[in-house]
């Protein structure tokens, strides 16, 4: 890495960092932005009383859309013959709807809140910044920004980026401003693309560029979710996964990865508004680096 590139990376880290903002012991990161006032405002968005799930299905065999479920066995309960029970094995960070704990990523040996990775990770899993810190869940305003619709296409090509300019223009299109404590949900039409190209390699996907990551920090977004993350692969000279490396390891940004958005897009069209109450909560997995979850948008 040249001195010039190193200086750029340090500048990006500095612009994104929330280290110390909520105290040296903080493990919530941007979830701190969801204040009581933010929750009350979000509750007021419930008018129609209709909820839609944003979760992809976990199924076997694995597909382009879902490979979280590794093993699933179903049997009769030996001691209770009338009951059917099952056991599952999950790959939490595969393709499928899940939440990343803040300790899931670090950058240059340092995790969120300036914690060295050797103080965060132990043999038993995450000692700090685990998913258990998020056990009280998410309750905030969600805003859908539909980048595919903005560009007049069904889906973004896997070579394309979502930029800060895209986010600005999508805000203007729906007449809303993403504010501190909000959940930003971005739609790029992944399901439509995978349906049209069932053999497409899942490791190539459209997503955010570094300018969009900086936009999230500037707006104090509490939650990022969508049918995209950063573009895969990245073309940033310093960062292979800028949303994860800057978002998790420096901002402490909560991610809802690989949401299934077709039902949400239809609900937005039906009710004529792009804002809603977003609720979700992870499983409380001790030392866990993440959790599957079922986010709900309520109108």
pLDDT tens-digit profile, the chain (299 residues): 445 547 899 999 999 999 999 999 999 999 999 999 999 999 999 999 999 999 999 988 988 888 888 998 888 777 887 888 888 899 999 999 999 999 999 999 999 999 999 999 988 899 999 999 999 999 999 999 999 999 999 999 999 999 999 999 999 999 999 999 999 999 999 999 999 998 898 889 999 999 999 999 999 999 999 999 999 999 999 999 999 999 999 999 999 999 999 999 999 999 999 999 999 999 999 999 999 999 999 99
Q: Is residue 134 domain-resident? A: yes
* pLDDT recorded at residue 5: 47
Q: How far does CA 14 lie from the centroid of its chain?
A: 22
Residue percentage of the chain with pLDDT more than 70: 98
Q: Is residue 15 domain-resident? A: yes
Structural domain range at position 258? 3-65+95-298
Q: Is residue 80 domain-resident? A: no
Q: Is residue 255 domain-resident? A: yes
CATH of residue 198's domain is 3.50.30.50
User: Looking at the 3D structure of the chain, how many domains does it have?
Assistant: 1
Q: Is residue 86 domain-resident? A: no
Q: Is residue 242 domain-resident? A: yes
Instruction: Quote the CA–CA distance of 263 and 281 in Å, as a whole number.
Output: 20
* pLDDT recorded at residue 65: 84
* pLDDT recorded at residue 151: 97
* pLDDT recorded at residue 1: 44
Q: Is residue 25 domain-resident? A: yes
Q: Is residue 50 domain-resident? A: yes
pTM for the predicted model, two decimal places: 0.94
CB 112, CB 249: distance < 8 Å: yes
């Amino acid at each position: 890495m040249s001195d010039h590139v190193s200086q750029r990376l340090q500048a990006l880290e500095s612009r994104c960092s929330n280290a110390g903002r909520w105290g040296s012991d903080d493990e919530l990161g941007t979830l701190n932005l969801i204040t009581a006032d933010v929750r009350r405002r979000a509750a007021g968005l419930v008018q129609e009383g209709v909820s839609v799930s944003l979760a992809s299905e976990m199924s076997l065999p694995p597909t382009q859309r879902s490979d979280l479920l590794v093993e699933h066995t179903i049997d009769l309960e030996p001691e209770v013959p009338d009951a059917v029970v099952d056991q599952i094995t999950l790959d939490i960070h595969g393709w499928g709807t899940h939440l990343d704990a803040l300790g899931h990523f670090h950058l240059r040996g340092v995790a969120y809140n300036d914690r060295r990775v050797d103080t965060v990770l132990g043999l038993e899993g995450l000692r700090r910044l685990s998913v258990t810190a998020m056990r009280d869940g998410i309750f905030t305003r969600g805003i859908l920004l539909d980048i595919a619709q903005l560009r007049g296409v069904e889906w973004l090509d896997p070579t394309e980026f979502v930029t800060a300019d895209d986010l600005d223009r999508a805000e203007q299109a729906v007449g809303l401003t993403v504010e501190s404590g909000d959940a930003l949900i971005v739609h790029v039409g992944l399901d439509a693309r995978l349906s049209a190209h069932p053999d497409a390699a899942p490791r190539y996907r459209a997503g955010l560029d570094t300018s969009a990551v900086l936009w999230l920090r500037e707006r104090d977004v509490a939650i990022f979710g969508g049918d995209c993350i950063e573009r895969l692969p990245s073309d940033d000279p310093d960062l292979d996964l800028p949303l994860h490396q800057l978002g998790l390891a420096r901002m402490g940004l909560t991610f809802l990865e690989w949401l299934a958005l077709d039902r949400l897009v239809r609900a937005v069209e039906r009710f004529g508004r792009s804002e809603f109450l977003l609720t979700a909560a992870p499983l409380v997995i001790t030392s866990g680096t993440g959790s599957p979850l079922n986010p709900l948008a309520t109108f």
